[in-house]
Structure 1
Amino acid sequence: MPALQAVRPNPDVLEGLRLSVAPMMDWTDTHCRVFHRLLAPGARLYTEMVHANAVIHGDRQRLLGFDAGEHPLALQLGGSDPALLAQAARIAEDWGYDEVNLNCGCPSDRVQAGRFGACLMREPALVAECVAAMVAAVRVPVTVKCRLGVDDDDDYAAFAAFVDRQVGAGAAMIVVHARNAWLKGLSPKENREVPPLRYDWAYRLKRERPALPVVLNGGLATVEAAQAQLAHVDGVMLGRAAYHDPYVLHLLEAVQTGAPVRSREAMLEALRPYVEEQLRRGVGLKHITRHLLGLYHGQPGGRGFRKVLSEGAHLPGAGWGLVEQAVAVTRVQAERCG
């Protein structure tokens, strides 16, 4: 593996590597990321996947805009045209993103029809062309997020060869969603749950390529499960768990950094200035509070918190007082349960 012998950990890549939040369509928008940044100040955050064509031709403020506090922040791109991806990567760098990540893992029908996402796992040469074009276009790290394979692929050597090809083209880090992607017969949701997890492939990849930064994604839902992986890989990436139970991000970063654990109410109070500023700009409360619904996941009173926000945030004039009302209801219900 001659190309891999020259790989050296890049400090810019390693920042925030131990904990990151996966790019999630329709979820990890800027409001979500601001909240996650408060929960985990050192974690790396990712945007939703944006197609290269959209970056080039679309509403960039809507697609690429972010709050200055979100760094370190990566833009995930979709696409399979090297020239377009290179152009989109340059735009991302100009907008101030810290990393550009290429999606080689999304299994949706729309993505397959556009010849990008998980189906690129079977086109390693094309992916390498894309990576090389982006690396030549920008100074920020270019990384790849991939699956183990597609459909019934069951060949570690083929997976490792795919990775080697991308690293040889200049990829600075590999994020491994440690399951196959089924291109037919499973929905995107089922693709996140049904194909069996194979953490051992990610472990082996790191063991055989110790200088290559490897981040593990898939099925990590608790602090204990995530921490256990750090004996084998450089970092862990939480997906749906970070969204449905966001406080786990705060607990995980506290374990990793030794920072004091803050209460859920303290986290909400820290978010208040951002929420009130967005309200002044005309953003509806519902666009922000939808990302807060899981904050009291598994806690006494959590249902009341969700109910108040779900029923009231879309109403005209809804403001910060609704969040305070939700917390008060939660507190009362928790006291009754206690």
Structure 2
Amino acid sequence: MHTVLGHDPAKDRFRRTLAHGRLASTYLFVGPEGVGKRTFAEWLAAALLCANRRHDSLDACGHCDSCRLSMAGTHPDLLRVSRPEDKTTLPVDLFIGPADKRNREGLCHDIALRPLVATRRVAIIDDADDFSVETANCLLKTLEEPPPGSLLILIGTSMARQLSTIRSRSQVVRFERLEETQVAEILRREPHSLEASEAARLAAISAGSVSRALELAEGQLDQARQTLLNRLQSPRIDANDLARVFEEETKAVATEPRIRRRAMRELLAATIGELRGRLAESVGDVTRTDAILRQLDACFDAEVAIDRNGNQSAVVASLANHLARLAR
């Protein structure tokens, strides 16, 4: 099993927790997309299910039946739930079963069953940002009265996107962006196996996110990012042209709305990175610094609007107008 790169504070926290026998029943992992929260969750789960692990260690042996099943992704005591691609929230059925099998299937039922191989059951819930009030309420009893020996790990991007019923019943573990060298090393490893030079190039523009680096590696998003930066670096910015670039370049990446929003967030991240570079160069020029800070505010507002599924055309039109006006 590969060692998880980075996230030393989280590793140290769990080592101390295990050494003192104080593992909680529910943890909420929050941090930027693509920094390894799910990988860490899988790694922790494999260690907890391992038959030969020392009580204060996070290292699975890699040889016992549990470890072999974990590596194959088929461990019967490791449950996984994530939002289906065609849904905007986590469906109730995932937690309490379909209507004709209510409370006889689903995660809340399965987590309470006796372990089949290990001494506990672990559930990893992806997309915790996408809980609806109804779905969170279905999980409420399990959070308040967890089955003995069970562990739930919920994975989200920020505390602001978590429902109060989830936040108040979870131990929060915060994850930060990876270092550039760590992203490059992950990209060189299997299953990605990128050449060292390409891994280093993508890591340099990844903002500490492996998933972002991999999206850029696909080519179209990388090209869209460069087209946008070329426009932003031109002596004069035309608002209509800039808005068109945002729109057309995201459409070139994908037509599916959810993927287009991800592409738009990437272009916004590239814009913010460009502006931050200019901000560092504007020290001493109060007027220029003020204009750049206002441009950054407009980008942050656009990020919030996109995350809230705002009308993308309206968002980019407003952003382009702000960027062009403040650039003069």
Scaled by the length of structure 2, what TM-score is found? Answer: 0.34
Q: Which has the higher strand share?
A: 1
By percentage of residues, which structure has more helix?
Answer: 2
User: TM-score, normalised to structure 1's length?
Assistant: 0.33
- Structure ID, larger Rg: 2
